[in-house]
Structure 1
């Protein structure tokens, strides 16, 4: 059995569910309409000067970056594998031999910290060196 207070609440809800739509659909019912305020005109932002973007090379390492490398840092010759899972760096040591390094391996005192799509990050003591991949030499035209 439903208590009396709940029966009264259910009856009031049913009455409101029937009465409100009828009242709102009566002709002459005034529904206030809010008119939106006009927005200020849009102004295009001024573009920053891009001269410094056009001054740097697009696909090769900048000259200051390659000059800042320590002389005994390993030379990166390639990156093989999937970054983030099994990638290894192919490096040329100071003695001229080639080795493959996984992240955490060391060569000539330099430890491979991380790999990106175009560079390797090595560290030794407090030094850090970002070694970019060498720029590809254009193939000579066939004659």
Structure 2
């Protein structure tokens, strides 16, 4: 079983979490210059930490754990926080692979609902290569 490629989503999926991180940092920095009582200063820092974890860290970890490994024996699709959801498909299980401009890459699996992969760059080229691999196996 040889690895052929590892496909990752576009990096632009992290734009909104990075904007949130910048806004949280700017607000915390702005409020830290004022002479506030200690409890307010700690409350601001704690709220900023919680918001940063929820709005930046968790989406970043989800992004880093999302990928598709294309292997000679099939495909391994990992999604979720720390790649918690894994789906391994052999080439024999895959009925067809197609592209939809609105939905993304559609993988039709025999006797199961189709899988949809969104957010990958150059999706038409990915589908063309995967179709060639599917026909060859």
Q: Structure 2-normalised TM-score?
A: 0.21
Q: Structure 1-normalised TM-score?
A: 0.21
Structure with a larger share of its residues in helix: 2
Q: Which has the larger radius of gyration?
A: 1
Larger RCO (alpha carbons 8 Å, 6+ apart): 2
